[in-house]
Amino acid sequence: MSTICNKNSVIRISLDEGHKLLVKNFIDLANETLGGRIIEVSDEFFAEARNLLKPTKSVRDASKYTERGAWYDGWETRRHNPLSHDWVIVKLGFMGKIVGFDIDTAHFNGNHAPLASVEACCSPKSDPKHGDDTEWFEILEKVALDPSSQHYFSIRESSTFTHVRLNIYPDGGVARFRVYGIVSVLWPQDPTALIDLAYLGHGAKVVACSNQHYARAENLLLPGRGIDMSDGWETRRSREKNHSDWVIIQLGAPGFLDHVEIDTAFFKGNFPESATLEACYSDPVDGGLKRLRIFGRRQLPSSTSLQSLSFKSIISPSITSQTSPEILMAQPLTYEAFAPYGHVIDSFKEPSVSPFMTSITNNLRVTPANQGTARKYNHIAPVINFRETDIISSDKGTVVQFVAKARPNLSLFRCSPMNLPISIKMLEKHSYSSQAFIPMNNGSKAKGYLVIVCLGDKDGNPNLETLRPFIAKNCQGISYNPGVWHHPMIALKETTNFVCLTHESGNQLQDCEEIDMTNHNIQVDAPSDFYKGVGDYNEIGRIVQSML
């Protein structure tokens, strides 16, 4: 057994802190409703270990007895343990990173376990057995437990684990054992597969709700249809006119939504009259519902993209090397034309409003800033990271792919100028992250830059029917959507600095995929009007604007 936590990394916290820090922000990975189950136990003479994983609070009926003694809603081992301690191995419902525990000895008074510790292991292919060669890590050192009390412990975020082992010294009873953490999602290998993005097992969580008087909103994200009204979401009644209740759910991953399932099972006289659904991309009716499922894809299939966008073919998919190159004329960069590929980072003309008023323009919320001397264009481009945690893809329980967690990388590209026309020799894409480039104007000779983009086909390769070149002004930035093929940055006329924001793990093959395009013999040029006024940035800006 190895130890990965020291005394400074384990903190006992109060009941109020435990509720705020653990219960509200993380899920109980060992909950039997999520698939948590007992694998092996040293002893359960008085009360079965499976009671530890019940989602409900422990109850007590002093008048109830079994053939072995008083009935307890928890796990209780026999007295006079000849070994140093008793133990129980729990398989977590979801593989995950552990951040804390709730060890509850409710109703065990005089027969509670006085000490406990927790170990963990990662064994995704098979369940460990006590005494085998599985490597266990101590993540909660031996701690004291009080009789009939709830104990919250916070630990430093652990590695990814599949099983935990609760040890009690030397014996006794524990009512409930909860393992709080973050799900390490096992995504389907195909990123275009239709999945429930609002499922706990895919990392979804409730971030806020208006009311949960009778039953918690988090129940909406559970698997199955439940057993009764208690494991759905139910609010208190309201007599206010036009009253509505709401819940905000953070999806497990950004995605393209397909359809929604709203289930009111078991709610017969207290179901909502109606419901609406709203969605957004963000960094940061009374009654009851049973489940909410929002089905979508982490990556949009190329065929769907093309059907919905109705692209017109400009290059034959069967292009091969030719004597004369195929020449594409770059067009001015606009919000509408670039929308299938990403976002344009630029200001725009608003309706006539006061400097202190908010407006909605181009689907963006523009708000006053700096005491009315500035306008703030909010969420002008999403910052997307599909690798907020390690991604482990599986096939029938076998791990087949591991994608490392990515972190933000704010960098600067210093790009030397290129002359038009240029030949497209390669394209690249970032499957797991958006990538934004913002030019830093270098002076009067700055002539903008060239942006070349292309969507992928059903196999993920460039679909040349969607290849588009754009001319961007030096006052415009761009942000590529994840999975969009694009040419490296092309500065025109003068060396240009670009600030770049993307997410990277350091694994070059996962961060950026490249493909050779030399066999396609494609060149990009600009309309003749673009060459007028070289050296005069204002004139170039006017010419590009006149092309819109």
Domain 2-183 has CATH 3.80.30.20: no
3-class SS of residue 493: coil
* pTM of the predicted model as reported, rounded to 2 decimal places: 0.52
- 242: phi > 0 → left, psi -120 to 50 → alpha, else beta; which? left
- Examine domains 2-183 and 195-297 and report if their fold is the same: yes
261: closest CA among 226, 227, 295, 293?
293
444: closest CA among 536, 366, 373, 344?
536
Task: Judge residue 329's burial from the number of C-beta atoms within 10 Å of its C-beta, 0-12 exposed, 13-18 middle, 19 or more buried.
Answer: middle
Say how far apart CA 5 and CA 44 lie, in whole Å.
29
Kindly tell me the sign of the dihedral angle through the C-alpha atoms of 501, 503, 506, 507: negative
Name the token pair of 504.
């990277």
DSSP H helical segments within 332-424, as ranges? 335-338
Name the token pair of 421.
């026309």
Say how far apart CA 252 and CA 35 lie, in whole Å.
18
Name the token pair of 488.
């490296």
CA distances from 52 to 84, 149, 373 (A): 21, 14, 60
Say how far apart CA 491 and CA 415 lie, in whole Å.
6
235: closest CA among 271, 279, 277?
271
CATH of domain 195-297: 2.60.120.260
Say how far apart CA 467 and CA 484 lie, in whole Å.
10
The whole-angstrom distance between residue 148's C-alpha and the CA centroid of its chain comes to 38
- Do the beta carbons of residue 204 and residue 252 sit within 8 Å? yes
pLDDT in 10s for each residue of the chain, 548 residues: 554 444 446 788 999 989 888 988 888 999 998 899 999 999 999 999 999 999 989 998 888 888 888 899 999 999 888 889 999 999 999 999 999 999 999 999 999 999 999 999 999 989 999 889 899 999 999 999 999 999 999 988 778 899 999 999 999 999 999 999 989 888 887 888 888 898 888 888 888 888 887 877 878 888 777 777 777 888 888 777 778 889 899 898 888 888 888 888 888 888 887 888 888 877 654 555 556 766 776 665 554 433 333 333 333 333 334 456 788 999 999 888 999 999 999 887 766 556 666 666 666 778 888 877 888 888 889 999 988 887 766 655 555 567 788 899 999 999 998 988 899 999 999 999 999 999 987 555 556 899 999 999 988 899 999 999 999 988 899 999 999 999 999 998 888 999 999 999 888 888 999 999 988 889 998 876 665 544 343 444 444 444 44
Looking at domain 326-546, which CATH architecture does it have?
Sandwich (2.60)
Enumerate the domain spans of the chain: 2-183, 195-297, 326-546
pLDDT given for residue 488 in this prediction? 95
